[in-house]
């Protein structure tokens, strides 16, 4: 269900475990570390928009561990239903550390254009 999220976190978590003294963690340790890290993570949602003859990424939302699971379980469906079509970027952070980014491009009319930019 959220295997795609694990693929984003795996390299980051292996490096963190090696840095903290566990260079060859077993699967159980990796799974526990992933669950813990996800609980301390947030996802920033950005969308690409035309801007002054170029493009920029407009920040639309930030989801913490209590609000991100609908997005993580079905990112294309969640984005299409809540924001419409567009070129979206999800930036994952564990605390203050950047983990990874993943892009999605659901089809449909953009319903995000009227939304104010989130200042973070």
Average pLDDT, the chain: 95
Average pLDDT over residues 98-108: 98
pLDDT digits (tens, 9 = 90+) for 38-94: 999 999 999 999 888 899 999 999 999 999 999 999 999 999 999 999 999 999 999
What pLDDT, on the 0 to 100 scale, is given for residue 120?
A: 74
The domain locations on the chain are 3-17+41-104
DSSP codes joined into one string, 22-40:
-SS--HHHHHHHHHHHHHT
Cα torsion 96, 101, 106, 112: sign: positive
Q: What is the pTM of this model?
A: 0.93
Cα torsion 110, 113, 114, 116: sign: positive
């Amino acid at each position: 269900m959220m295997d795609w999220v694990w693929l984003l976190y795996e390299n980051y978590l292996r490096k963190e475990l090696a840095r903290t003294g566990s260079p060859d963690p077993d699967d159980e340790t990796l799974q526990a570390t992933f669950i813990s890290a996800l609980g301390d993570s947030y996802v920033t949602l950005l969308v690409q928009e035309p801007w002054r003859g170029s493009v920029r990424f407009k920040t639309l939302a930030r989801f913490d561990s209590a609000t991100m699971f609908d997005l993580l379980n079905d990112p294309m469906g969640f984005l299409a239903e809540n924001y419409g079509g567009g070129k979206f970027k999800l930036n994952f952070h564990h605390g203050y550390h950047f983990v990874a980014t993943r892009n999605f491009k659901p089809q449909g009319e953009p319903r995000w254009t009227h939304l104010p930019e989130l200042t973070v």
